[in-house]
Amino acid sequence: MASLECLDESTMSSESPMTTRPPSRQTSVHWATGMRYRNLGKSGLKISCIGLGTWVNFGTQLSEETAEEILTAAYESGINVFDTADLYGGGKAEIMLGKILKKKGWRRSTYIIATKLIWTGKSDIERGLSRKQIIEGVHASLERLQLNYVDILLVNKADSMCPMEEIVRACTYCIHQGMALYWGTSRWTAMEVMEAYTVARQFNQIPPVMEETEYHMFQRDKVELSHPELFHKIGVGTMTWSPQAFGLSGRFDEGIHLISRGSIRNYSGTSDKTASDENRSPRHQAKIHQLSFLVEKLGCTLTQLYIAWCLKTDCVHCVLVGASSVGQLFDHLHALQVLPRLNTNVVNEIERILSNKPIRPPVTR
């Protein structure tokens, strides 16, 4: 079978030539924080380039007051993307988020809720990605969130045991029933996303609009090699999260340690033993060391550099951050001010330090 690389835009016959649009994306800017807005992939949905994740602490570590303060600060700073999941805090993240949204009473059109179905975390009898799992999952999330619909329904991990047609039809059903406005994927391979798109076109269903994935300086291959292709060929947008942007540590290596040590581990598909070991290697520590020098020159923190650097990446439409306090959120938002300082020289310097720029393997026939 033809590899992904061989897929050519001209063969995507079900997309009208009329719908092709130029890759350059217009942005508008928030007056106070300099927040930028981008279309999510080639969809019409305008999102802030930084989104707030509720992964680590909503519903568990944070008091409701602090959570409300953070959410309010985010909203007022121009963040309009709030990312959550059914399993975060065993459902408490969605409950807390919904409670705060209800209390604040913001116009529904001013924010975007993305929630994930994490079927892999369910009990044996409920595990498996099926039409039943998807529809019942969305119903349960909406009840916890006290919303009539989520903006983006994200299916977390593909299920090799479930036909793609069933997933695509179930997500389209949720959209046609008004339970979601868009659907997307999370932690899928580019090939799986492409299959979802193909099946959606085959049966005139609605294709996914985005893929959410882990992305940081030390895990670059998927986003930098595959996602531009997904964006340019089928319009799929990218949201990214990374351990350090979730405020797990001021220093990156500590963040990695936290992940490899603890409860968060289960959610992370990539932070396995090997990666963790690699992160403690002297070579890795040397890179962190050199980045610290650079950060000092730039007048920002390592985390701000991490976030700004992600924002700089081609086809990354939204970087999700976490925060355990309003202060930490503002710290992260400062990355927007760091962004303009990442000129060609700085970017080249970072590449020199990292020495891990992904290269597309040569096509062998």
Q: Could you give the residue numbers annotated as active site?
A: 88
Given 33, 84, 115, 133, the residue binding a copy of itself (CB under 8 A): 133
Rounded-to-integer distance, Cα 119 and Cα 128, Å: 6
Rounded-to-integer distance, Cα 186 and Cα 153, Å: 10
* 155 contacts a copy of itself (rule: CB under 8 A): no
* 33 contacts a copy of itself (rule: CB under 8 A): no
> Which of 33, 113, 34 minimizes the C-alpha distance to 80?
113
SS percent in the chain: helix, strand, coil, step 5 = 50, 15, 35
Residues 192-221 that bind a copy of itself (CB under 8 A): 195, 198-199, 202-204, 206
Comparing CB distances to a copy of itself, the nearer of 82 and 306 is 82
Burial of 201 (0-12, 13-18, 19+ CB in 10 A): middle
Rounded to the nearest whole angstrom, what is the least distance from the CB of residue 169 to a copy of itself in the complex?
7
* 166 contacts a copy of itself (rule: CB under 8 A): yes
> Which of 181, 187, 241 minimizes the C-alpha distance to 216?
241
Q: Which stretch binds a copy of itself (CB under 8 A): 16-24, 54-62, 244-252, 268-276?
A: 16-24
* 223 contacts a copy of itself (rule: CB under 8 A): no
Q: How far is CA 102 from the centre of its chain?
A: 24
* 136 contacts a copy of itself (rule: CB under 8 A): yes
Q: Which residues of 42-56 are buried (b: 16+ CB within 10 A; e: fewer)?
A: bbebebbbbbbbbbb
Given 161, 273, 343, 365, the residue binding a copy of itself (CB under 8 A): 161
* 167 contacts a copy of itself (rule: CB under 8 A): yes
- 108 token code pair: 């529904």
Residues at the site binding a copy of itself, with contacts judged by CB under 8 A: 1, 14-19, 21, 25-26, 28, 30, 37, 39, 42-46, 48, 78, 80, 107-110, 112, 122-133, 135-137, 140, 151, 159-167, 169, 173, 175-178, 181-182, 195, 198-199, 202-204, 206, 235
